[in-house]
Amino acid sequence: MAPTPKIALTIAGSDPSGGAGIQADLKTFSALAVYGAAAITSLTAQNTREVRAIHDAPCEFVAHELDCVFEDLDVAATKIGMLSSSALIRTVAQRLRAHGARNVVVDPVMVAKSGAKLLADEAVAALRSELVPLASVLTPNLPEAAVLLESDEASVLREPERACERLLALGARAVVLKGGHAGGASSDDLWFDGQSFIRLSAVRTSSRNTHGTGCTFSAAIAALLARGESPLAAVEGAKRYVSAAIAGSADWKLGHGHGPVHHFHALWNDEERA
């Protein structure tokens, strides 16, 4: 008899093209042998090229989604993605506190790969004060870190250790400053938990298929936390998973923009699907 799987919850927007948002998160959970639950915060009309429209779910409905999940399922880890307004942010933060959510991974989604804004300007303060203090792991990229710190990308890139210290001071228990936007032959992230700075390196794969990498990374961290990994081990495992998913989709031609990564690179026999 198979053991009951651990449960991870994603709280995020929906991507109908399947590469990002809850679709990417649920694929990631499944690939990493975790049962996935999902609370949808926004419907987006998007594909690999653009985000055409965003329709937020009513806050009361999102609260009901979360209550239904937490009252019935033993959620071992929660990943938070797109929350486009301060009202949604406050609603989610309040329900997470009410249910004592464990292993919360906060991906401060602000801009889509296509360049479309996914977070209202007025919502940044709520993100900073309401959600970041709930984070077991905070996963900003360089532009997101700059916004959270009311700084600029050049300063974050020049002094990443100082940026991590300032992000941790906002209340997160650990920070992973993602370096994908920095360019170069390697993609280096910086981990900081208040004790140690650890640089996590990976060879950069030349690929246009990077849609949903941030969603996938944070979901992988949540999945591995749900399985009992330590925060640092979960981050290291998530980076390996995302790197392999990018490499696995390098030859794909799905869509006409930034295509998705191969979430099931370790499970599919691609020759059988040729």
Active site residue 68: no
Whether 78 is catalytic is no
Other beta carbons less than 10 A from residue 217's beta carbon: 29
Residues 6+ apart with CB under 8 A from 254: 19, 48, 209, 260
**Alpha-carbon gap, residue 46 to 52, rounded angstroms:** 6
Give CA–CA dist 252/219, Å, rounded.
22
Annotated active-site residue 13? The verdict is no
Token pair in block for residue 160: 């990443």
Partners of 40 in the β-ladder: 12
Q: Are strands 35-46 and 51-56 parallel, antiparallel or unpaired?
A: antiparallel
Which residue in 19, 21, 81, 212 is the catalytic one?
212
Which position among 215, 216, 237, 248 bears the catalytic label?
A: 215
Residue of 10, 91, 139, 210 with catalytic role = 210
214 noted as active-site residue: yes
The single-letter code of the amino acid at 208 is R
The alpha carbon of 48 is separated from its chain's Cα centroid by a whole number of angstroms, namely 18
What pairs with residue 175 in β-bridges? 138, 192
Half-sphere exposure of residue 176, counting CA atoms within 13 Å on the CB side? 29
Which one is catalytic: 44, 178, 180, 237? Answer: 178
The residue behind tokens 């969603």 is: 215
Which member of 10, 28, 78, 213 is catalytic?
Answer: 213
Round to whole Å and give the CA distance between 43 and 166. 33
Instruction: Dig out the tokens for 191 from the structure.
Output: 């981990």
Q: Which two tokens stand for residue 64?
A: 């009901």
Residue 273: exposure state from Cβ atoms within 10 A (0-12, 13-18, ≥19): exposed
Q: List the catalytic residue out of 180, 214, 237, 248.
A: 214
Catalytic annotation on 115?
A: no
To the query of whether residue 59 is one of the catalytic residues in this protein, the response is no
Catalytic residues: 178, 210, 212-215
